[in-house]
Structures are given as C-alpha cells and as structure tokens.
Structure 1
Amino acid sequence: MLLLTREDLEKVLAMREVIEAVEKAFLELYHEKAKVPLRTILEVEKHNGFLLYMPSYLESSEALAVKVVSLYPENPKKGIPSVLASILLNDPETGKPLAFMEGTYITAMRTGAASGVATKYLARKDAKTVGIIGAGVQARTQLWAVYEVRNIEKAYVYDINKEKSQNFADEMSKKFGVEIDVVESPKEVAENSDILIIATTARKPVLRGEWVKEGTHINSIGWVGKDARELDSETVKKSKLVVDSREGVLNESGDIIIPIKEGIIDETHIYAELSELVAGAKKGRDNDREITLFKSVGLAIEDAITAKLAYEKALKLGIGTHVEL
C-alpha cells in the first residue's frame, strides 16, 4: 500500500487537472455510473464537532474510496485546522487497499475544483474580480480554481481575523500575480466582486442579498450543520440556485434548509444539480444580469476521483512510501 503525505500530494496535484477530473466525475454521476450514498454524519456535541464518513465508487473511472473527515470550528483557536481528513483508496476489482493518504489537502483541492467547474458554467465570461469572505485553507484553493477558469485581474478579501486576511493577500498575490486588497467588511467585498467565494464556519449570515450586485456568481462552501448558515435568505431567493447534490443540500445545508423553513423558498427553487450543467441537460447562466449561486456540501465522488488521480501520478513520479500491512 502506498502512503501519501500532504507534502507528497502537493507535489503531484495541479488544480487544472483536478478540475478536469472532478468535472468527469460529475458527468459519470449524471449518467448513473456512480455510487455515492448520503454521507454518515456523527455529531460530537460535547466537543462541538462533526465526523463524516464518505464512501463512493465511480464505475467508468474505476475509483473506489472512502474519506473520513472531521469538522471542528473551534480548532483554529488551538492551532489546528478546522477540517481534518484521511482517505483510503481501494482496488475496485479485488478490494485491496491501494493507498492511504492525507485527506485535508485533497478536500481543499477537490472542493476548490468543484467550485471551479461551477464557475466555468455559471460565472459571466467577462468576470474579472473575485471577492473572498473567509481567508482559511479552503479559500486558497477556491481562488486557485476560479483563477484557472476565468481571467482574474483583482481580488478582495475579508476575514474576521485581519491578520489572516493580510497573510492570504500576501501569499496569493505572489502565487497568481494578482492584486488582492484587504477590506474592512463583507459588504465591501460583495459590492466590488463579479465572483464571490464564501468559505466560512459562520453560524449566522455573513453575506446579505442587498449587497450582491446584478451578474454576480457566488460559490458558497461553508458548512457547520443544518441549523447554521453563511448566506441570508434574500441571497438564496434572488439567485439561480445550483447545488452539488439536491439530497445532500436538503438534508444538511442550513443555507437552504432555513429559508425553506421560513417559507421564503421551497425545494423547487433548486434550478439544477451541477451534474446536469456538465452533461448539457440544463443551461448554466442565461444572461449577464442574473445572480447565480452554487451551494456545495461536498460529494464523495470528488474525493475518489482526486485520490485516484493523486495515486496514479505518485506511482508515475515515484513519490510516496510503500508499506506492508
């Protein structure tokens, strides 16, 4: 079995390749070539955390994996990432374990890639500015993915921790050669951006619909349970809503569950799943004025396809550590 550390994964995974792989996974999902049961969520209430078990199998890509991921919003106060994960990749033909790998980096890469796919189909072609609310680990790969699918010229970032915002701006401006301004409020981010990235562990809305201008595309990836949200109801109501999974969002995402409970929207407000856009079954953006929203809770097929990509590239490049169990 091959062991792959985060350092190994950083050497083998490139965002453009991950976007292509994740788009392929969504196409398989549309054509019913994927098995992806609803993830099992174990809430550890005593320590304000969640543990998620996410198995999946992609028949055409021959990717079989299970991810175990934890979400502990208070972890950053202890110097630990809020999201931690590991992934086991198996041989679909025999069930033999092929690789065990650090999953936090893959989670960030595949989540960014899914938003990259959504941005490809939903953002305006002439979108040039990006706004980021929440400057954590996920925000970095989110910006990377958007950068790969649109010609980004400037970005704005806000985090409740201004030092995190500044570190993000310094790091990512060097990486992409794009000017990144640290701003004082989420409102300022929204009012200046063609594409919005909302990547928080907020329990109450950090984005209000009144701030969002015509033609904006929003990627919302934050999740801390069905009773919490990072988007207000007006944002959801005024947007063309695309999700990664109807079932997942309606069971898990407070961003959608809460406005439904309020009577602001109903389940029919979900325009499409991302797989429908990838397959061409439904159109993405209709015009340059509409507001589009991609709400993601994460699908295990994204992990499986990215883990297989990492494994195959690691074998080819001779990266990783082989162990006998």
Structure 2
Amino acid sequence: MDVQQDRIAFLEYLQIEKNASPFTIECYVKDLAEFLAFLEKEKLYSPYDVDYSVIRIFLTELYEKQLSRRTVSRKLSSLRTFYRFLEREGKVDSNPFMQVSLPNSNKPIPKFLYSEELEKLFHVNDLSTPLGARNQALLELLYATGMRVSECVNLHMKDIDLSLGTVLVKGKGRKERYIPFGRFAQIALEEYLENGRVTLLMKSNLETDRIFLNAKGTPLTDRGVRIILNKIVQKAALTIDLHPHKLRHTFATHMLNEGADLRSVQELLGHEHLSSTQIYTHVTKDRLRTIYNKSHPRA
C-alpha cells in the first residue's frame, strides 16, 4: 500500500469533504508527518500495522517532550481522524486511536466583562469624528453578535442588512451564518456607514467594500482592532485587559445568563460542537444558585 497516496487522499478529504480551514489542515498534515516519522524511527514502516501498544510508545515520547495536554490532545485528534479515514477507505480494519482517550485540556474559565464595565466603554468614543464613530460601531457590533475578530474585519458592505438588523458572517471552514443585532448596534453602524466610513475611504481612494477601515482608509486588521479596544479601555480609565475574544465571551455569558438556550448560543457563535459552547455554562451556575436561594422556600 502506498502511504504517500493515502496522505494525498487524506488531504483532499480534509479540503473537500470536511471543508477544513487552512490552519486546521496545516496542523493535521504536520501531526501526521510527525507520527509517520516516529513509525519509521521505531522500524514500523507501515501505518497500517499500528496498534494500541505502538500508540502508547508514541504518547510517552510526546509527554517526554513536555508538551501541553492541549497539544497532545490535538495531535491525537488529528491521528484519530486520519485512521477514521483509512478505516472508511478499507485500508485498516479498525481505528487504533479510538482506544485512546483524549487528555483533559483543562480549558481555562473564559473571562468576561460585567455590564457596568461595558457601559463605561460605550460612553468614551467621540461620535462626531470618523474614527470615534467607527470605534463605537466596532465595539457595539462585536458585543451584539459575539463574532470572532477575524470574522468582523472581513465583513463587506453586502453582508450587513440594516433593514432586517442582521449580518452574514463567514466563519471557520468557510461556514456561513446569519446573526441578528440590536438597536444600539444598528444606530452605531448607521452613523458610521453614513458619515465616518465615507470620510475614511476618501483618504485612500481605495475601491473596497470592507466595512471597517483604519485611519488611512484601508481595511482594518485583527491587530488594529486590538489596538482600538486598548485605547477605548484607557479612555474609560478601566484597569481591565480587553481583547476581542473577551467581548465574544461576554456575549455568550450574558446571553446564557438572560435565559438563552445553549443550542441557540452555539449557532450564534458558530461552534461546530456543543461542547465548545458548554464552557460558558459554569458562569451561569453562580447566578442559578443566587436565584435558587432567593426563590426556593427551603433553600
């Protein structure tokens, strides 16, 4: 059997059938190459003969390198996917990596902003200036939708429907989803698009339909958004660390705290698996305990 042909077929499977992102594919290919190099070093040249004992030796090597649990978990997940593909193609009888449990990644509890902190942030931008209007629209939209910063900077004019109050977001794996936004985000966006963006665009004479532009009139970058948020925090005189993903965490936490169901929040965030969304449920437990203590006669 030709391992190289199977590697190429696996790559096509990831690109076409799984519609995986370039970053995910890069990780899978790297992890597979590392495992095949390990097999060659161990004089086990065929990946079709791998069993649980071989995987245990491989795991030992990974832990000796003092890799994090998260990294080990990702490598095992990559190889589990590869062998699932081989099993489907009839190249192996069973998936040896199904016998291996993924190590606990010990995901940290996501940090979020409280309503009082958010309110201060929403009142520091000078809406009479193009950059102030842009910053307000950016802040309102990130909190209103919970979208990733990469999704936000790649928004085009045609993706926003102000009449319906929705935005079309292109997420990981080129998957698209519609997210509604509320009145505050709508007002901020209308102000920016009607006045601020037009002024910024004139500075570059660039033909772009990207929604968010920098001070030079060219498309805003991920790094640019982080700089903007840090400046907003400084103006608000808050001693918090604000990055775009914290606004995403805040969106999810506040939605769940106000009674949104987990499946709806999963869809809004663009999570493929519900387990990715469940990390936010711990935050609501304190609130549930408070409600219980106040409401239950024998609490």
Structure 2 length normalisation: TM-score? 0.23
State the TM-score, normalizing by the size of structure 1. 0.22
| Higher normalized contact order (CA 8 Å, seq sep 6+, divided by chain length) | 1
Higher strand fraction (1 or 2):
1
- If each structure's helix is expressed as a fraction of its own residues, which one has the higher value? 2
